[in-house]
Amino acid sequence: MTAPLAHQRFRFVALPEDQGKRLDQVLAARVPDLSRRKARVLVDLGGVFVDGARVKVAGRAVRAGQTIIAHLGGALERATKEVGASARARDEAQLPPFRVVFQDDDIAVIDKPAGLVTAPTPESDRGNLADLLRRALGGELFVVHRLDLETSGLVVFARTAEANRILSERIREHAVERTYLAVLAGTVDWEERTIDEPIAGRRAVSHASVLERLAPGATLTRFRLETGRTHQIRIHARHVGHPVLGDRKYGKPSPIDPPRLSLHATRLGFVHPRSGEPVAFDSPLPEDLATWLDALRARGPSC
């Protein structure tokens, strides 16, 4: 697998000689290896901020003294190298489809495919699940929590400000059930384990249990999150010496690498923000990972 372009952030202040020039012209001159054409694409993606505000007009005149921040990364790499409505439509047509598992007036539970960003990022405000869902359902939509680009599975959005407040509070209180399936590198020698290891100075706790040891040297594991830090399972898996297979950031290439990151949000449970009743949703492993696992099983059990 080819590694995605790492996120890079370039910050600079417009000089007197930049006064009155087009934004894409200034970007191409000040950001290393960024052509004028790529600068226009980056602006169109929403990866450029001027004095703290996202700017999407490449021809906007720059004023001396303005602070310009450009976010380069995977979004630019994945985008059609054109701008405008037709280019955005082509980009969206290439996105993997998502499935609405449940919706009512308060929430929408979605089965997110790998390869689809959950919400806008500094790199881009287009081609993300929140934007697509907002247009599909209409009305307000609030991002309660996120899944990584390469992670598939269940995610909930709020459709009212009150539902967002309640669900966000339950996330902070760790009162939401979030269970993942992950295939770890190597043969794990424990059956259950609680991993209590801070991430970025904040408490992070994961509860892991082995479901199946696969050949050669892979272990299907269930993770239940007690906290929800960024990349928590991936970091905790690396911490115990068994990174998630297919993880290009925290793991290493393997001859049995899956078609993508082998991490799937399989169960999501919480108290409904309006009714007060507990609800829970399940999602089996998607076909790409299930087929890969079957091929591993065909080799026989791991020792």
Residues labelled as active-site residues:
148
Burial 115-151 (b: 16+ CB within 10 A, else e): ebbbbbbbbbbbbbbbbbbbeeeeeebbbbbbbbbbb
Which contiguous run of DSSP H or E holds residue 41? helix 36-45
- Amino acid 46 reads G
Joined together, the tokens standing for residue 100 give 């609405």
Residue that is written with structure tokens 């689809």 in the block: 116
Which contiguous run of DSSP H or E holds residue 254? none
- Helix, strand, or coil (residue 64): coil
Distance CA 288, CA 84 (A): 33
